[in-house]
Structure 1
Amino acid sequence: MRAAGCYQADAVFYTGSRYDRATKFQTDTKNRRQQIPLIAVESLLDKQPGNSQLVCVELVEGATPLPEFQHPECAFYIFGPEDGTISQEIIDCAAAVVYIPTVGCMNLAATVNVLLYDRLAKSTHTVTGDDLIRQSRDTNNRVRVSR
């Protein structure tokens, strides 16, 4: 949820019971659930917005390496689970399947952060500057570059 907030996701949908168990450990330290809907669903495909392109993110043979991928303006990303894979049915429905070219697999949180940062880095709508830094940094961070 922290990554979803940092990169301004509209909503997060999930299947299974893993996230429900994780909430007991207070993993959402920035309380993003208050701003971003987090919704358990039976089928991710049923929640895809009609104007979006389905993009699967998984180590799948034939997938496009993330550095070569151009993100659609409106994307519905489905990430592979840590202890399994995205079903062939969902892969077959995707407009694109991408993977992050690492040696070994990354955990879900790292994968989400890398994918969404890649989207931000390739975007022409990126907001930058000291105002963003002041709004985003931790309350204990008051250092600045002095040259």
Structure 2
Amino acid sequence: MSSLSLSKQTVSIGLVNPKNPVNVASILRAAGCYGVSSVFYTGYRYRIAKNFNADTKAFHKKIPTIGVDDLKEVVPENASVVAIELVEGALPLPEFKHPENAMYIFGPEDGSLDKSVLEWCDHVVYIPTYSCMNLAATANVVLYDRLAKSEYISGNSLIRESRDNNNQSKL
């Protein structure tokens, strides 16, 4: 994972009232793969369901996953807040330049981010698709886009460090 950590960058995720522990576990898996330093969530639904999580790589033990009352109160110092939402007037993800330090805010699987949340965000970005994606897929796409647009170390050492222990394939 160290090869993927983006120097001088801090990435956090904020989840608004997530309902599905499997989706949150998938977000934690993505967070571990893409160097996210912390995940914050609001609401009660995940707090009730989190004991049933499916985080097979146990990233919840490595990445702080913290329930809070208000995501605005936990924005990391000097971070730009990026809301990810299908809302008119948002910037398409392919055109977005990710800030060095960012907190990405995602809405619930069964709703949208309130206008009151969008108003305190520095950027509002959407992923161009033919239909809406689920929460975990959206987070994975955003984090991958951030990586793809950055300077990262590539090659066999990254592959060896990233792959599953059962995969020893070579070309």
TM-score, length of structure 2 as denominator length: 0.80
1:35, distance to aligned residue in structure 2 (A): 1.1
1:22, distance to aligned residue in structure 2 (A): 4.2
- Distance in 2 (CA, whole Å) between partners of 1:116 and 1:39 is 19
TM-score, length of structure 1 as denominator length: 0.93
- Distance in 1 (CA, whole Å) between partners of 2:150 and 2:45 is 32
- SS of the aligned residue for 1:67 comes to helix
Higher relative contact order (CA 8 A, sep 6+): 2
- Distance in 1 (CA, whole Å) between partners of 2:121 and 2:159 is 36
Aligned to 1:135: 161
Identity level (%): 56
- SS of the aligned residue for 2:165 comes to coil
Q: Structure 1: state its 5+ residue gaps.
A: none
1:21, distance to aligned residue in structure 2 (A): 4.3
Q: Alignment partner for residue 45 of structure 1, among 62, 72, 75?
A: 72
1:101, distance to aligned residue in structure 2 (A): 0.4
- SS of the aligned residue for 1:131 comes to helix
Aligned length, in residue pairs: 144
Post-superposition CA distance 1:44-90 (Å, at most 9, x none): 11100130111000101100000000001101110121111111111
Tell me which moved more, 109-118 or 77-86.
77-86
Partner AA of 2:109 in structure 1: E
Partner AA of 1:17 in structure 2: Y
Q: Structure 2: state its 5+ residue gaps.
A: 1-27
Q: Which has the larger radius of gyration?
A: 1
- SS of the aligned residue for 1:72 comes to coil
Partner AA of 1:84 in structure 2: G
The CA RMSD measured in Å over matched residues stands at: 1.2
1:15, distance to aligned residue in structure 2 (A): 1.0
Aligned to 1:120: 147
- SS of the aligned residue for 2:138 comes to helix
Residue 76 (1) aligns with residue 103 (2):
yes
